[in-house]
Amino acid sequence: MSARLRAERVVLASVGAVLVAFLAVPVLALFATATAADVEHGLRHPLVGPALRLSLLTTLASLALVVVLGTPLAWTLARAGGRLARAVETAVQLPIVIPPAVAGVALLLAFGRRGLLAGWLYPEGWSVTFTTAAVVIAEVFVSAPFFVQAAVSAFRRIDAKLLVVARTFGASPLRVFFRVALPLAAPGLVAGAAMSWARSLGEFGATLMFAGNLQGTTQTLPLAIYTALESDLRAAQALSMVLVVVAFALLLFVRAVARRSAEPPGAAP
């Protein structure tokens, strides 16, 4: 390799390293500026326990809803064609790109006490807003597209010949779905579920706008960080570190699942 080529590669790598440093330094600072005593003190803050329990409860509930409702939708979109299917797929992906505050306002206008569906949902005047159920609704709204997108891709990667063979042996569409499609698409579905759970765990804006910030009722971990930052930086830092560790573990899990699903059948581990 000539000196010029090496120099060009060094220049390109150096330019890219600027962005890597910009992304990495804040995360490193989060851990480098905290001592073990700071973390222990932060995790003992009164906000931590209720927020952790509520986050686990609501994110698991939202994940269950996303998987149960999103898997059949993804299968339908993967098998369908035409403009209608493309329009539905685009609409499902829309929450990924709209700002969280906009999502919160949209949820209020749809499911709030004076929302579009208020007369049908709340004939007695009660409203789901500012309840734990509102947290689950917000988390489903922002996290479902991540699962559906991954599930559609996983179903589309299935060899159509396998589905045709199953049908020729007399398997019903439901049997093909449960016995053939789901096992073959399982790695992609699991990875999508992990990404969906991570998104719901970190949800902030839509939850704050639609469910509020009530300790023990709607205050999830991100909202607890926001609240703790006003009075106890160590608690906010400790909770932030917990979310970063969880996000990093989920990212490693998703990459491992994706790498394994990309291996050809019978490949050595």
Question: What CATH number should be reported for the domain holding residue 139?
Answer: 1.10.3720.10
Give the pLDDT confidence score for residue 232 in this predicted structure: 85
Q: Which tens digit of pLDDT belongs to each residue from 210-239?
A: 999 999 999 999 999 999 988 888 889 988
Confirm whether 164 is domain-assigned.
yes
Q: Which tens digit of pLDDT belongs to each residue from 68-114?
A: 999 999 999 998 878 899 999 999 999 999 999 999 999 999 998 88
Q: What angle is formed at CA 84 by the lines to CA 82 and CA 85, rounded to 5 degrees?
A: 70
Residue 241: give the domain boundaries: 35-262
Confirm whether 13 is domain-assigned.
no
Q: Could you list the mean pLDDT of each consecutive 10-residue stretch along the chain, which spans 269 residues?
A: 79 91 93 88 87 94 97 94 89 93 93 83 81 96 96 91 83 88 92 93 93 93 92 88 89 80 47
pTM: 0.87
Instruction: Produce one character per residue of 237-262: b if its CB has 16 or more CB atoms within 10 Å, e if not.
Output: bbbbbbbeebeeebeeebeebeeebe
Confirm whether 29 is domain-assigned.
no
Say which DSSP state 122 is in.
-
Give the total number of structural domains in the chain. 1
Confirm whether 5 is domain-assigned.
no
Residues in Cβ contact with 234 at an 8 Å cutoff, skipping those fewer than 6 apart: 34, 38, 39, 41, 42, 45
